[in-house]
A = this chain, B = another copy of it.
């Protein structure tokens, strides 16, 4: 189980056997069923989540109850409500399992400690967070840009593995349009 995580880390940094053991000891295994919540406002997000198998989604519910999907997190993605996780304040984003999902989770304290013991992990997380920033900027462009086709093509590029695993209404929510409008856009593209 931890092998998937170590393999992912070793794409970016070198680790000694002792460091691998420290990392393995710091992450706990968790299994959740489809539709189960990992983070539910106003609870504090206690863990950073690494997805081993399955898929999570992080979303915001606005005052009208409309769901705005921020990210999908399939295999080898990380996700948490970072603000809540770091500041120990109430979460504002939901994290829910879209499929039965296996996870490795780590608390804030264990992560702080691990970053001290294995300083190279700072390098890994710098790169991870860079990617998260680019993803969020992309997400903002999705919300602000008026071209739905473009948003959809970006979605396909970012999540090639997800198009056939997700219900269409969730992809529509991610793109910020109604399922009906999304269906029209798709048939326009495929023609």
Residue from B82, B120, B145, B147 in contact with A133 in the complex, judged by beta carbons closer than 8 Å? B82
Q: Say whether A141 faces chain B, with CB atoms less than 8 Å apart.
A: yes
Give the number of chain A interface residues (Cβ < 8 Å). Answer: 35
**Dominant SS among interface residues on chain A:** helix
**A63 located at the interface, meaning its Cβ lies under 8 Å from any Cβ of chain B in the complex:** yes
- Within 8 Å by CB of A137, from B123, B130, B136, lies B136
Q: Output the least CB separation between A51 and chain B (Å).
A: 18
A34 at the interface (CB under 8 A from B): no
Q: Counting CB contacts under 8 A, is A187 at the interface?
A: no
Shortest Cβ distance from residue A134 to the other chain B in the assembled complex, whole angstroms: 5
Within 8 A of B (CB), among A50-86: 60, 62-64, 68, 70, 81-83, 86
Q: Confirm or deny: A140 has a beta carbon within 8 angstroms of a beta carbon on chain B.
A: yes
Residues of A at under 8 Å CB distance from B? 60, 62-64, 68, 70, 81-83, 86, 92-93, 115, 119-120, 122-123, 125-126, 129-130, 132-134, 136-141, 143-147
